[in-house]
């Protein structure tokens, strides 16, 4: 499912909601989630899961072309932890 599909589904399900308004709602949700994660906040959506930021430690890696050792700095990465309900529903 793409963002466009989500907008269309929202506009379809909610009476009197235009595509433009549905797109604004979806964009607002995504922007709010992005801002929260950038601030280091955790987002929990019951029945779906949790979005959070994890810290990856610095490590020594390898250049795949040359095989040379390279230093990979620590960094923050977004992470999604699947909720129990979603996990069970997908497993059916």
Answer yes or no: do 57 and 91 share one domain. Answer: yes
For residues 17-31, average pLDDT: 97
Answer yes or no: do 31 and 69 share one domain. Answer: no
Answer yes or no: do 19 and 30 share one domain. Answer: yes
For residues 21-35, average pLDDT: 98
User: What are the angstrom distances between the C-alpha of 71 and each of 3, 49, 59, 68?
Assistant: 36, 33, 6, 10
How many distinct structural domains can be found in the chain? Answer: 2
CB atoms closer than 10 angstroms to residue 7: 19
- The parent domain of residue 11 ranges over 1-41
Answer yes or no: do 48 and 67 share one domain. Answer: yes
Output the pLDDT for position 72: 95
Dump pLDDT digits (tens) for 30-76. 999 999 999 999 999 999 999 999 999 999 999 999 999 999 999 99
For residues 3-25, average pLDDT: 96
């Amino acid at each position: 499912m793409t963002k466009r599909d989500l907008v269309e589904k929202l506009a379809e399900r909610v009476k009197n909601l235009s595509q433009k308004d549905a797109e604004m709602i979806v964009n607002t949700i995504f922007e709010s989630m992005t801002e929260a994660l950038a601030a280091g906040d955790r987002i929990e959506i019951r029945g779906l899961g949790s979005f959070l930021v994890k810290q990856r430690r610095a490590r020594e890696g390898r250049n795949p072309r040359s095989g040379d050792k390279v230093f990979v700095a620590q960094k923050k990465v977004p992470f999604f932890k699947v909720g129990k309900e979603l996990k069970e529903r997908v497993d059916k």
